[in-house]
Every structure is written in structure tokens, then in C-alpha cells.
């Protein structure tokens, strides 16, 4: 009886052993492609692995690796798809995948979905708990939700040497934003309406303001001179008066637009700084 049972089981055991050996070779080759930075080939080979007979834990590992490879190729939607495919049964790997995917969604300005990813896991590792809180704080700052940022940043333990500098930087960015006085487009336009060019002074563009003041001033003097000497219907007055009106209006509108551009660039620079500070700990802790 035992001999018959062995005859039945032996082929099965040999088959399972051969399958496991093949999967091990496939993972080794996948890592080899990654080391060579052949991420496109790695994605193609990994997709073939997903279509083969592998266990759920092996499938989770492949999905996580492919998520990282797609990220390296800046194919964020594809990367997020792989990360989302990592099952919650692989507790640690699922946590890594949700945190990584949450950052990618924040980068795409999909803030609600990003927060959902960050909050979908409950890390048991203290370092990952700290990272989760840190990423949520960064997300709140991207949305300029300062009370939410304060809530999360107050939970910084400042105990992990890998995160301390980033946490301090993030608090510094928040302080810079809240301490900055926002420029008013209306005030800039009003100032340039009263004294041409002063709206540019207000935004810190001294050179442009001086050029605007001189240009509009010269045209205004020419128009006044033509009016004084030749009258309101003279061609000279019409030409210089028209030029003065155009440049005067352009000076006001330019000041308004200048403030909006300055504010937009400031916010873009701040967002970039926040994302860099969110990204580096992700790469550092989720290798």
C-alpha cells in the first residue's frame, strides 16, 4: 500500500519541485533585468510570469516588482495598477504597495485617492507607521490644509534617523507657506493705474516696473505735447494718445497677470519641494 501511494505521490512531488525551481529561476532573471535597468524587458517578462501557474504570494511579489519597474519608466497609472493588485494577504508587501501607490497618486494630484491608499493600511512596523503619518502630512500640505497638516505633523516622533531631516524640512515648508503674504492682483493693478509700473515694483520686478513707468510716461508726455500744440483732432495726438492708452492699459493688465504668474510659480515650486520630500523617504524605506 505504501509503495502504491509513493508511486502516486512521487510524480506530483517531482512536478512541484520542478515548478518551484522554474519560478526561482524566473525571479532570478527578473532581478537580473532590474539590475541592468532593463525595466521594459522586465515588465514584459513579469507579465508572462503573472500568466503562468504561480502561487498567490509569488503573484503578489511579481506585481510589487512590476509596480516599481513601471514607476522607473514613469508609467504611473500602470505602476499603480500593479501595486493595487498586491493582495492584503501579503501584509507587509501590501502596505509597501499602498504607500508607494499613494505617493504616485499625490504626484498626479489625485489627492482623494492618494489619501485613500495611505489610510487603507495599518502598518505594524514603527518605521512604516512613521512613514504613513509623514506622507499624510505631506498630502495635507499639498492641499494647503494646514490644520490637517498640524494634526499629522504633531504625531512625528522624530525617532527614525532616516526620516528626521525630511520631517524638519516639511515643517519648514509649512512655516514658509503660512508666513508668506499673498500678493493681490487687484492691488497690483490699482497701483499701476495710479502710477504706471508700480504694480511691477509690488511684485518685486523692479526692472520691468521702471521700464513700464518710463515707457508710459514718455508716451503720455508726447500725447500731452501734441494735444497742447495741435489740438485733440490732430493726427499726432491721435497716434500718441492711442499708443498711450494701449500701453497704459497693458501696464495695468500686465501687473495683474504678473501677480498671478508669481503666485502660480511660487505654488508650483512649493508643491515640487513637498513632493521631493515625500518621494525620497518612499524610495529610502520601501526598497
Residue pLDDT, tens place only, 246-284? 666 777 777 777 778 778 888 999 999 999 999 999 999
Residue where the block lists cell 497618486: 105
The answer to whether residue 69 scores a pLDDT higher than 70 is yes
pTM: 0.78
DSSP summary character for residue 73 = T
CA–CA gap between residue 275 and residue 222 (Å, rounded): 52
User: What confidence tens digit (pLDDT) does each residue in 150-189 have?
Assistant: 999 999 999 889 999 999 999 999 999 998 877 777 676 6
The answer to whether residue 220 scores a pLDDT higher than 70 is no
**Which pLDDT value is given to residue 124?**
86
CB 277 within 8 A of CB 169: yes
CB 136 within 8 A of CB 152: yes
**Of 81-85, 134-138, 217-221, 280-284, minimum mean pLDDT range:** 217-221
Q: Classify burial at 218, counting beta carbons within 10 Å of its beta carbon; exposed 0-12, middle 13-18, buried 19 or more.
A: middle
Average pLDDT, the chain: 83
Could you tell me which residues come within 8 angstroms of residue 104 by beta carbon, excluding any fewer than 6 positions away? 71, 76, 79, 80, 83
* Count of Cβ atoms closer than 10 Å to residue 8 Cβ: 8
Residue 117 falls in which region: left (phi positive, over 0), alpha (psi -120 to 50) or beta? alpha
Amino acid at each position: 500500500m505504501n509503495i502504491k501511494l509513493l508511486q502516486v505521490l512521487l510524480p506530483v512531488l517531482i512536478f512541484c519541485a520542478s515548478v518551484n525551481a522554474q519560478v526561482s529561476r524566473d525571479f532570478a532573471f527578473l532581478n537580473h533585468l532590474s539590475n541592468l535597468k532593463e525595466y521594459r524587458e522586465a515588465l514584459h517578462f513579469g507579465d508572462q510570469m503573472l500568466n503562468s501557474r504561480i502561487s498567490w504570494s509569488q503573484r503578489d511579489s511579481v506585481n510589487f516588482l512590476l509596480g516599481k519597474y513601471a514607476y522607473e519608466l514613469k508609467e504611473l497609472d500602470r505602476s499603480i495598477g500593479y501595486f493595487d493588485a498586491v493582495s492584503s494577504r501579503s501584509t507587509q508587501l501590501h502596505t509597501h504597495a499602498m504607500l508607494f501607490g499613494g505617493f504616485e497618486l499625490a504626484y498626479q494630484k489625485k489627492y482623494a485617492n492618494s489619501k485613500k491608499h495611505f489610510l487603507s493600511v495599518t502598518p505594524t512596523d514603527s518605521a512604516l507607521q512613521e512613514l504613513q503619518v509623514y506622507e499624510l502630512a505631506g498630502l495635507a500640505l499639498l492641499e494647503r490644509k494646514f490644520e490637517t497638516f498640524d494634526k499629522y505633523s504633531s504625531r512625528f516622533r522624530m525617532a527614525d534617523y532616516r526620516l528626521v531631516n525630511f520631517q524638519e524640512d516639511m515643517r519648514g515648508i509649512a512655516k514658509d507657506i503660512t508666513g508668506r503674504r499673498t500678493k493681490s492682483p487687484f492691488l497690483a493693478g490699482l497701483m499701476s493705474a495710479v502710477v504706471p509700473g508700480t504694480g511691477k515694483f509690488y511684485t518685486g520686478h523692479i526692472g520691468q516696473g521702471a521700464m513700464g513707468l518710463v515707457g508710459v510716461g514718455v508716451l503720455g508726455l508726447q500725447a500731452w505735447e501734441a494735444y497742447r500744440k495741435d489740438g485733440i483732432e490732430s493726427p499726432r495726438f491721435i497716434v500718441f494718445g492711442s499708443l498711450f492708452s494701449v500701453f497704459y492699459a497693458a501696464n495695468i493688465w500686465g501687473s495683474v497677470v504678473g501677480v498671478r504668474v508669481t503666485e502660480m510659480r511660487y505654488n508650483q515650486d512649493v508643491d515640487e519641494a513637498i513632493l521631493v520630500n515625500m518621494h525620497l523617504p518612499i524610495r529610502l524605506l520601501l526598497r
